[in-house]
Amino acid sequence: MKLKKNIATSESGFIFNPATGDSYSANPVGSDIILLMKDNKSIAEIKKNITSKYDVDDSQFDKDYDDLLAQLRDNNLLEH
């Protein structure tokens, strides 16, 4: 699952889609994941990174990661 190429992201969680002009804000966990996605990290790498930085177990992460993808998809921020 990849972010669309032209999506702009910032460390502070700001996301901008130049194709539509829509902007979004992400919370810190969301923003970390999106930056890792933008760096083309694998799911395993993203998971390792987040679960070591934040107080969350693997199964909670899996569920929430899927949920974040659904949010990105709903907002047309993912490659088809």
Partner 1 sequence: MAKLKYERPVIKKLNAGLMNKFGTRTEFEPVKHIDGVAVKSLIEKYGSPVFVISERQMRRNYQNAVRSFKTRYPKVQFAWSYKTNYINAVCNVFHQEGSWGEVVSGFEYNKALRNGVPGNKIIFNGPDKSEQDLRDAIKNDSLIHIDHFDELYSLISLCETINAKPRVAIRVNMDTGIYPMWDRFGFNYENGSAWNAIQKIIGSGKLRLVGLHSHIGTFMLAPSAYSVAASKLCDLMWHCKNQHNLQLQYIDLGGGFPSQNTLKGSYLPGTDTVPSIDEFAEAITTTILNFGFKTEELPLLILETGRALIDDAGYLLGSVLANKRLADGRRATIMDFGVNIMFTSFWYDHKISPAQDFTHHTEDQVVYGPLCMNIDCIRESVSLPLLNRGDHVVVHKVGAYNMTQWMQFIAMRPNVVMIDMEQTPHLIRRAEKLDDIVSLEEMPAYLKKIDLK
DSSP state at residue 55: S
Residue from 11, 39, 59, 74 touching partner 1 (CB under 8 A): that is: 74
Two tokens, residue 66: 């899927």
CB of 15 to partner 1, least distance (A): 6
CA pair distance 45, 36, nearest whole angstrom: 9
Residues 35-64 that bind partner 1 (CB under 8 A): 52-56, 60, 64
Is 10 an interacting residue with respect to partner 1 (CB under 8 A)? no
Which of 74, 80 has the CB closer to partner 1? 74
Contact between 34 and 12 (Cβ < 8 Å): no
